Amino acid sequence: MKRACVLLLAVLCGCGRSGDQGARDARPVIGVSLLNLSNEFVVTLREAMASHAKELNVRLIVNDAQRSPERQVQQVETFIAQRVNAIVLNPCEVEASSPAVQKALAAGIPIVNVNSETKAVPSAFVGSRDEESARLGMAYIADRLKGRGGVLIMEGYMGQAAQIKRGEGAREVLAKNPGLRLLAAQTAEWDRAKAVTLMENWLQAYGSSIQAVFAQNDEMAMGALLALERAGRKKDVVVVGVDAIADALQAVRDGRLDATVFQDGLGQGRGAIDAALRLIRKEPVEKATFIPFRLVTQENVASFIR
Amino acid sequence: MPCRSDKHSARVPKLELFAGRLGIVVALLALAAVLAALKPNFLSAANLTNVVRQVSINGILAVGVTAVLLTGGVDLSLGALVALTGVVAAHLAHPGAYPLLVPIAAGILAGAACGAVNGAVVTRCGVPSFIATLGMMTAARGLALVLSDGRPVSNMSPALTRLAGDVAGIPVPALILAAVAAAVAWMLRNLRLGRYLYAVGGNEQAARAAGIRVQGVKFAAYLLCGALAGLAGVVLAARITTGQPNAGVAYELDAIAAVVIGGTRLSGGVGGVGGTLLGVLLMGVIGNGLDLLNVPSYYQQIVKGVIIIGAVWFDRCHQASGKERGV
């Protein structure tokens, strides 16, 4: 329904513009194609972009690609046909969303990638380094364990960019801390229920040698936490997640979860609109802007809870 | 090597003890022996309790879908129903909101309602069960997302989360599975409906000619399957202390795999709950064992696939051609 409205809106706007070339509305227009609006983080991105665009007096046309790179490419083609002034792309996939970038550049329309990358190089990129989130989380574990102890890594869905990069970041920190022993790294597929089961099995396999669990997302961290609490072992194990979802922030505040890592969706959304506007005005733009992650612990959690 | 089942037909009567699934029992014991040799703590009471706890949700789903498979149908909506009913239960399970029975009953009823829709679409509209339940899978997942606004429903009362705890050292989910399995096994053996499920799946025309209300029997199978998916959804929500709109992805495949490993035929008419429980247990032991041995994630999937196919093949080789109906 929402998507139908957006499409209808897009069509209406498109007709209006071709009819009387921007006579009534001189505001710059930015077309936005988002990965998936049923993902909490992407919703945050959209809200950040919408509010920032309003402040800057820019008109946004927002489309949801619903995880389909094919649909995403079609949406960008529609933006090109509508002659938008710039495009912000929140890519579905590294390879499959690349044609969207190439087509926009070929049509002479600047395109900004936000949050994740495509193989084709856009006019500008605004996002975060996934490796850095894992580096922050694992460094916190190294700190808490004073560089010594047995560590477990719960990985995301194998083969996805976030799983690979977060795995790299975590292992970098392990390599720098020879006292940290990697007991095992297994996937729980980003899933809380699978994480509970995996943690139960790990408790049997590694028992008291477990001193910390690094989960590549908060859903899995919450699962590991539940299993540890049920086994009465949480007090000896540090648990850290990534993403700062509402449940995890609550658990950090209650002193159950040790830490999570906040990805700044607000900063990324605003940064993408800023970059697109500078490109429209032909002002110089950073080719790649990295918005830093932030570690969330009990001391600073209050400022992250909305 | 070709699989010749006729040679072994003489042994069958003795195998009834294992619900007629000697092959699966042997595979299970062999796997357990290997795991015990490699990891002595596989056989610890704590780990075996773990296995039983972990298989419970798949077990409840598998027992339900056994009834549908017996009629020759299939139910692909199970995973989505687990998510939907978990979200429904979690919404009604905030501390101090309603008595414990309300979220549990609501979850089961929501599952039963979806099961009834499945059954009605299959029997009244004549839509093949594969398509009818595929549609339900998508719709129920969407409904779960709508009801939860795409976010996990948390803040669950401890009364409900205790449903995933232990009583006298035995996991409550395992007790629920035992009760469900016993009830359905009894139903299949002793109630007219149970025998009709076999008759309808074995030969629909003959069943109809014998005066069985085929559509009613099928409808009952989907209804039961949906209600048990609701129960599984409530138990899962208790286990992860939230209602997750994204939970349960592909659970239907694990459940159907367990049922088929347990000897129930995809074409219907043959099988039963005893075999299903063995299948569920085999899958649970594989998962637990691979984690204990720390087999890398990529290889886990390969090993799991090979063991499942091997176990079923071995079992079929030791199956009698004639008397296959075990309950």
Which of A200, A234, A253, A254 is the best substitution to test chain B (most B C-beta atoms within 10 A)?
Answer: A200
C-alpha closest to that of B48 among B168, B164, B169, B182: B169
Backbone angle region of B150, left / alpha / beta, with phi > 0 → left and psi within -120 to 50 → alpha: left
Q: Chain B, 214-253: which have a CB under 8 Å from a chain A CB?
A: 236, 239-242, 244, 246-249
Quick one: pLDDT band at residue A157, thresholds 50, 70, 90? confident
Write the CA distances from A142 to A167, A178, A209, B102, integer angstroms: 16, 10, 15, 45
Residue B316 reports pLDDT greater than 90:
no
- Whole-angstrom Cα distance, residue B191 to residue B185? 10
Residues of B in contact with A200 (CB under 8 A): 50, 53-54
Tokens of B185: 């096994």
Residues of B in contact with A40 (CB under 8 A): 150-151
pLDDT of the residue at A20: 42
Quick one: pLDDT band at residue B5, thresholds 50, 70, 90? very low
CB-nearest partner of A204 from B44, B248, B249: B44
pLDDT tens digits for range A170-193: 999 999 999 999 999 999 999 999
Quick one: pLDDT band at residue B327, thresholds 50, 70, 90? very low
Which of A34, A35, A38 is the best substitution to test chain B (most B C-beta atoms within 10 A)?
Answer: A38
Residues of A in contact with B239 (CB under 8 A): 193, 196, 226
pLDDT of the residue at A160: 76
Q: Same structural domain for residues A100 and A214?
A: no
In chain B, % of residues over pLDDT 70: 91
Of A22-26, A37-41, A59-63, least confident by mean pLDDT is A22-26
pLDDT of the residue at B309: 87
What is the DSSP-derived secondary structure letter of residue A259? B
Whether residue B44 and residue A39 make contact (CB cut-off 8 A), yes or no, is no
pLDDT tens digits for range B197-221: 999 999 999 999 999 999 999 999 9
Quick one: pLDDT band at residue B319, thresholds 50, 70, 90? low
Of A35-44, A129-138, B86-95, B283-292, least confident by mean pLDDT is A35-44
In the A/B pair of chains, how many CB contacts fall below 8 A?
Answer: 76
Q: Same structural domain for residues A161 and A174?
A: yes
User: In what helix (H) or strand (E) does residue A296 lie, and over which residues does it extend?
Assistant: strand A294-296
| More confident position, B20 or B297 | B297
pLDDT of the residue at B22: 79
Q: Same structural domain for residues A188 and A42?
A: no
Q: Same structural domain for residues A35 and A107?
A: yes
- Whole-angstrom Cα distance, residue A182 to residue A278? 46
The neighbouring-strand residues paired with A296 are A260
> How many domains does one find in chain A?
2
In chain A, % of residues over pLDDT 90: 77
User: Is residue A24 included in any domain, yes or no?
Assistant: yes
Write the CA distances from B255 to A4, B56, B87, B102, B278, integer angstroms: 36, 11, 21, 27, 12
Residues of A in contact with B154 (CB under 8 A): 246-247, 250
pLDDT tens digits for range B248-307: 999 999 999 999 999 898 889 999 999 999 999 999 999 999 999 999 888 988 988 888
Q: Same structural domain for residues A185 and A103?
A: no
- Whole-angstrom Cα distance, residue B153 to residue B327? 39
Q: Same structural domain for residues A252 and A173?
A: yes
Q: Chain B, 103-132: which have a CB under 8 Å from a chain A CB?
A: none
* Max CA separation in chain B (angstroms): 63
CATH 2.60.40, applies to B44-324: no
Q: Same structural domain for residues A90 and A101?
A: yes
Quick one: pLDDT band at residue A24, thresholds 50, 70, 90? low
pLDDT of the residue at B294: 92
B120 by Cβ neighbours in 10 Å (0-12 / 13-18 / 19+) ranks as middle
- Whole-angstrom Cα distance, residue B120 to residue B127? 9
pLDDT of the residue at B204: 94
Q: Same structural domain for residues A247 and A269?
A: no
* Mean pLDDT rounded to a whole number for chain A: 90
CB-nearest partner of B240 from A39, A226, A250: A226
The neighbouring-strand residues paired with A62 are A32
Nearest chain B alpha carbon to A155: B297
- Whole-angstrom Cα distance, residue A239 to residue A249? 13
Residue B28 reports pLDDT greater than 70:
yes
Tokens of A277: 């506007």
- Whole-angstrom Cα distance, residue A33 to residue A288? 19
Instruction: Give residue limits of the domains in chain B.
Output: 44-324
- Helix (H), strand (E) counts: chain A: 10, 12
User: In what helix (H) or strand (E) does residue B207 lie, and over which residues does it extend?
Assistant: helix B204-209
Q: Same structural domain for residues A157 and A103?
A: no
Provide DSSP, B56-123.
HHHHHHHHHHHHHHHTT-----HHHHHHHHHHHHHHT-STTSS-THHHHHHHHHHHHHHHHHHHHHHH
User: Is residue A3 included in any domain, yes or no?
Assistant: no
Of A142-146, B94-98, B298-302, least confident by mean pLDDT is B298-302
The neighbouring-strand residues paired with B129 are none
Task: Report long-range pairs for B127-134 (Cβ below 8 Å, ≥24 apart).
Answer: B129/B68, B129/B73, B129/B74, B129/B75, B129/B222, B130/B74, B130/B76, B133/B74, B133/B75, B133/B76, B133/B77, B134/B76, B134/B77
Residues of A in contact with B39 (CB under 8 A): 205
Residue A14 reports pLDDT greater than 70:
no
Q: Same structural domain for residues A136 and A104?
A: no
Residue B115 reports pLDDT greater than 80:
yes
Nearest chain A alpha carbon to B233: A193
pLDDT tens digits for range B126-185: 999 999 999 999 999 999 999 998 888 999 999 999 999 999 989 999 999 999 999 999
Tokens of A116: 């994740």
Give B86 to chain A, closest Cα distance, Å. 12
Half-sphere exposure of A129 (CA within 13 A, CB side): 12
Nearest chain A alpha carbon to B236: A193
pLDDT tens digits for range A105-123: 999 999 999 998 899 999 9
pLDDT of the residue at A9: 46
Q: Same structural domain for residues A98 and A53?
A: yes
pLDDT of the residue at A224: 98
- Whole-angstrom Cα distance, residue A84 to residue B237? 46
CA angle B258, B261, B264 (to 5 degrees): 95
| End-to-end alpha carbon distance in chain A | 28
Total count of residues recorded for chain A = 306
Residues of A in contact with B42 (CB under 8 A): 204
pLDDT of the residue at A22: 43
Task: Assess contact for A239 and A215: CB atoms under 8 A.
Answer: yes
Whether residue A40 and residue B151 make contact (CB cut-off 8 A), yes or no, is yes
Would you give the distance in Å from CA B176 to the centre of its chain? 13
Q: What is the CATH number of the domain that holds A238?
A: 3.40.50.2300
| End-to-end alpha carbon distance in chain B | 30
Mean pLDDT of the A227-252 span = 95
User: Is residue A297 included in any domain, yes or no?
Assistant: no
Whether residue A187 and residue B297 make contact (CB cut-off 8 A), yes or no, is yes
Say which residues have a Cβ less than 8 Å from residue A19's Cβ, sequence separation at least 6.
Answer: none
Task: Read off the amino acid at residue B182.
Answer: A
Is the CB of B169 inside 8 Å of chain A's CB atoms?
A: no
In A, what residues contact B, Cβ < 8 A? 38-40, 43, 155, 158, 183-187, 191-193, 196-198, 200-202, 204-205, 219, 222-223, 226, 230, 245-247, 250
Whether residue B292 and residue A247 make contact (CB cut-off 8 A), yes or no, is no
A293 by Cβ neighbours in 10 Å (0-12 / 13-18 / 19+) ranks as buried
pLDDT of the residue at A18: 43
CB-nearest partner of B152 from A204, A230, A247: A247
Residue A80 reports pLDDT greater than 60:
yes
Query: Which structural domain range is residue A32 located in?
Result: 20-127+265-290
pLDDT of the residue at A10: 47
pLDDT of the residue at A16: 42
Tokens of A63: 């489309």
pLDDT of the residue at A236: 95
C-alpha closest to that of A16 among A77, A71, A61: A61
Whether residue B291 and residue A202 make contact (CB cut-off 8 A), yes or no, is yes
- Whole-angstrom Cα distance, residue A122 to residue A118? 8
For the sheet containing A238-240, what is the strand order?
A: A180-187, A149-155, A210-215, A238-240
Mean pLDDT of the A13-41 span = 69
pLDDT of the residue at A17: 44
Say which residues have a Cβ less than 8 Å from residue B156's Cβ, sequence separation at least 6.
Answer: B90, B93, B94, B95, B237, B238, B241, B242, B243
With both helix axes pointing from N to C terminus, report the angle between B192-202 and B214-240 in degrees, rounded to the nearest 10: 110
Give B101 to chain A, closest Cα distance, Å. 23
Q: Same structural domain for residues A273 and A249?
A: no
